[in-house]
Structure 1
């Protein structure tokens, strides 16, 4: 199906729904702080093209309700505890999380590395749950954190079965942000990397997000065969040589296939290479 066609159940866009201006601006502040914690009032005012007085009023309300917290030393702002609470309610209510939890907890204990459950939101991957293995050398990613799709194993695993046109639309026409010297910067290069992901069934991040940290991830599929999430293994770089990447990739495929079957996916033998017919996440 072409990306330009309408899709069943598509959510209304911002253009089709009347917005309450103050609420929209307040939510924009939360979205900004999720990506840029430690922003000052002037940073927020500049980035959102709002007057400092407007931003100040909105921040006062958000701080009062606990969705934003201000540092008494630096006077900068970050997400508050109430935002975390609301986010965790979403995670607890997510059926994917409920089904995956016991499987991933057992998997983490057995393999010894950090295991994360991830979903996609636009051009970001969100880590909604995490299970620590028993190993002494571990790489931990904060629950609720967001990172770009192009430089994470989970992000690549969720991108790989989208149409190329949809991937270009998500990532934009410019060079991709460099998180390390090993980050893939050009969309064309990323598309070639995603061909390997489809062949293998799993994706890798070899110090592309953070120096010294490597990840392997495999996608989770819905009953319709669409990618609804990913499971990622994170560890320090010395623990992931080529042989272990293959072994870990095979184990991740086993785990994500098990989770996928529990949410209704029926494998047809072509899922590694077949692109998703449409993107289940709406921006």
Structure 2
């Protein structure tokens, strides 16, 4: 009985400890965003304080703040939408069709997924410069789209392959074309995969810093990660404004995850037996 009880308790204890380790930095960021400068820089941690919104006012008072917000949303949503659109077609082709070069295509997708994109920054900069595409939101969107595409293809291919072929064949026997069978039978069952890849692509594009730092020098074409760096000056760091800005940047990702988490964790097979 003791061994059984211990086996039930220790996973919960480990999960609780890990939760504390991961949640505490987020809590400290949020708490610091409401602290006065003196409470942030003190040697002794301050857990009880009078909250202030001065840090948020300083952060959002930076020039072109709303331009950064709009640029980040346009680049991120555009890259994710393009990646999902292309990955759906590519994933279906790899999972369902037999064609020459299929294995080579799968290998290329895996290699592209493992490649460190940072080593290609110089090449991308030179290409963008030669094509006169520097300081362009459209250029940034295309690059983020290419960065998210390998993972999106690989993930959606697995979800499509997990859908029984019999469902698609039954729809085609009932008179559907292959395209109609895809959108009426397979596509509704891909909701968990679409949500999971959307979250990954959104986080990647939303937080990406190196590419926009090199390719977009114009303030009008910058995004929120560069805005975060604006609170570091030659006189030191404005930690209160930095923590407030970090909280504001984190909120969209957190809200998106809370909205989509049920879709992500939902089972695929549940929809296969309905109707």
Q: TM-score range by the shorter chain?
A: under 0.3
Structure showing greater relative contact order (alpha-carbon pairs closer than 8 Å, 6 or more residues apart): 2
- Structure having the higher strand fraction is 1
Larger Rg: 2
The TM-score with structure 1 as length reference comes to 0.24
